[in-house]
Chain A
Amino acid sequence: MAKYAFFLGCIMPLRYPGIESSTREVMKSLGVELVDMQGASCCPAPGVMRSFDQTYWMTVAARNLAIAEKMGMDVLTICNGCFDTLFEVAHKLNHDPELRKRINKNLRDAGGMEYGGTVNVRHFVELLYRDVGPEAIRAKVKGGKNLKAAVHYGCHFLKPSNIKKIDDSERPHVFDDIVEAAGMTSLVYKDKGTCCGAGGGVRARTPDVALKMTKENLVNMTAAGAEVIVDCCPFCHLQYDVGEAQLKEFKIPVLHLSQLLGLAFGLEKEKLGLEAHQIKVNL
């Protein structure tokens, strides 16, 4: 059984814990063991924290990577923002011994941890596509509805594509393939690769601007006939779910991919946390 250090981040365990329990259940059913990273923190969030101070951003990320390294495991995350920070910092530190030395000095001065540069960081959509595969997912599906799904990739899953090398960042298909394997029809819709509106510190500083961006995406999804939105990031998830509730004119249920797979696999609905969503999920 493959084993990964499960990085929780902030929004998932604290605002949408249903995504956490869905991920744990889905991964268990696919033969992937998730082990908790005791004492991990915020990744820290790439938008604001990297813009403020890259040394602090990298040192905190290195501390999280060091926890996984001590466990002897690679990291698995279900959040685009966490993926961006941890993947990029691991990429920098794993390839630049001088930078690693500088960041390790901060870690040592702060309490003795050290990062040796050996951890890889995986996003669960990428892991599902490459390691599990759409066929194995299709084989686990136990019926359910065939719905028109607006798949939202978000900003940080595929980009920067020169180092992540997961898929074509302008015409991706890996996420759509997993959603289709789960029995859905993945829609083509206008500006599919656009930000949900929340990222880059926009939601924190100018929530009205964030909501306008969300609305534009919702209009495009509605025009394409979306019956469900499927995301792969708890922050995008929050932006759509809370955004729809604020706008009041949309009622498209929002599912994180882990919740969609939980439904498709026929897992206990009580474990998926759907009743905690702002927009009613009745699928």
Chain B
Amino acid sequence: MDIIMALRNMAVRKGYMAEAHRKVAKGICETGHLVSLRDEDKALRKKLGLEDTPPTVFAHPEALEQMKRIAAVCGFDKLVASGGK
């Protein structure tokens, strides 16, 4: 497992990444979440008695900024910025 993960990481650094996966990674980098918060999600959450915006990075802009800084510190933002091979 450890060896396979190390090899996968090496392959990504050489640009071998599926476009669909790169988009997922870029999305997490930029928004802090795997999926977006849509108006219909907000409406359903409200209907269920939940806060319309979950108390995650979506409700805390400073937390999202911290996430973006982590991506920059790790060089992850550049890694997934553009299309791979």
Interface residues of chain B: helix, strand, loop or mixed (majority):
helix
In the complex, A160 Cα to B4 Cα: how many Å?
Answer: 15
- Chain B interfacial positions (CB closer than 8 Å to A): 1, 5-6, 8-9, 12, 17-18, 20-21, 23-25, 28, 32-38, 41, 44-45, 48-50, 54-57, 59-60, 62-67, 69-74, 76, 79-80
Contact, CB under 8 Å: A39 / B60: yes
A52 engages B80 (CB within 8 Å): yes
Could you say which residues of chain A place their CB within 8 Å of the CB of B32? 41-42
Give the contacting residue for A106; candidates B38, B62, B73; CB below 8 A: B73
Distance, CA A8 to CA B33, complexed state (A)? 11
A-B contact count (CB 8 A): 146
Q: How far is the CB of B5 from chain A (nearest CB, A)?
A: 6
Knowing A18-B48, A38-B55, say if A63 contacts B18 (CB, 8 Å): no
A14 sits at the interface (CB 8 A): yes
Question: What distance in Å separates the Cβ of B83 from its nearest Cβ neighbour in chain A?
Answer: 14
6 A-B interface contacts by CB (under 8 A) = A10-B34, A11-B35, A14-B36, A49-B28, A51-B5, A201-B24
When the two chains form the complex, which single residue of B20, B48, B76 contacts A273, counting CB atoms closer than 8 Å?
B48
Chain A interface extent, by class: 35 or more
Q: Quick one: CB contact mask for A96-138 with B, threshold 8 Å, 1 for yes?
A: 0000000000110111010000000000000000000000000
Closest to A112 in B: B66
- State the CA gap A148–B56 with chains docked (Å): 37
**Cross-chain contact of A42 among B23, B28, B37, B74 (Cβ < 8 A):** B28
Q: For the complex, give the distance between the alpha carbons of A216 and B26 in Å.
A: 32
Query: Shortest beta-carbon distance, A93 to chain B, in Å?
Result: 15
Contact of B9 among A15, A53, A204 (CB under 8 A): A53
A50 and B76 CA atoms in complex are apart in Å by: 12
Given A15-B35, A52-B12, A110-B70: A276 and B79 interface contact (C-beta under 8 Å): no
Q: Is the CB of B35 within 8 A of A39?
A: no
B59 to chain A, nearest CB (A): 8
What is the CB-to-nearest-CB distance from A83 to chain B, in angstroms, rounded to a whole number?
Answer: 15
- Chain B residues whose C-beta falls within 8 Å of the C-beta of A246 in the assembled complex: none
- Say whether B12 contacts A51, CB under 8 Å: yes
In the assembled complex, the Cα of A273 lies from the Cα of B41 at a distance in Å of 12
A204 touches B20 (CB 8 A): yes
Inter-chain contact B60/A52, CB cutoff 8 Å: no
Cross-interface CB contact of A17 among B5, B20, B45, B62, cutoff 8 Å: B45
Do A49 and B33 touch across chains, with their CB atoms under 8 A apart? Answer: no
Complex Cα distance A175/B39, Å? 34
Q: Please tell me if A48 contacts chain B, counting CB pairs below 8 Å.
A: yes
